[in-house]
Amino acid sequence: MALRKDYKQYNGEVVTGYFRVRQVTFSYEKDKGDETSAVAEFIVEVFNENTGERINDESRMEEGIGHYSLPYTSIVTVQSLIDWAYEHLKGLELFAGAEDV
């Protein structure tokens, strides 16, 4: 599972980007008498789809690479967490028109 869209590199060159969720974490904390604290976070990386090379433009949120946080909902499985991450990305204006691959 990944998303495909144009990616503008630091040098200004535009390539076909292959965006994938690389790492997903979920943290749950509940102390007696306190509200539940839960957060899901994930990291997105991008590859040049034509060459297969990972693009090492670290933390370029304006281009879609970086660390994202998701609001808490009921999560049943790890796969649902990954699916949720991609659905979140597709809902962002930055990824409007991105193609599922």
Q: How many domains does the chain have?
A: 1
**Stretch 66-88: mean pLDDT, rounded?**
76
In degrees, rounded to 5, the angle at the alpha carbon of residue 73 between the alpha carbons of residues 65 and 27 is: 65
Q: How many CB atoms lie within 10 A of CB 55?
A: 20
- The pLDDT assigned to 74 comes to 62
pLDDT band at 17 (very low <50, low <70, confident <90, very high): very high
- What is the span of the domain harbouring residue 91? 3-100
**Model pTM?**
0.76
Question: How does pLDDT run across 25-74, given as a tens digit for each residue?
Answer: 888 888 899 887 777 888 899 999 999 999 877 657 667 777 777 766 66
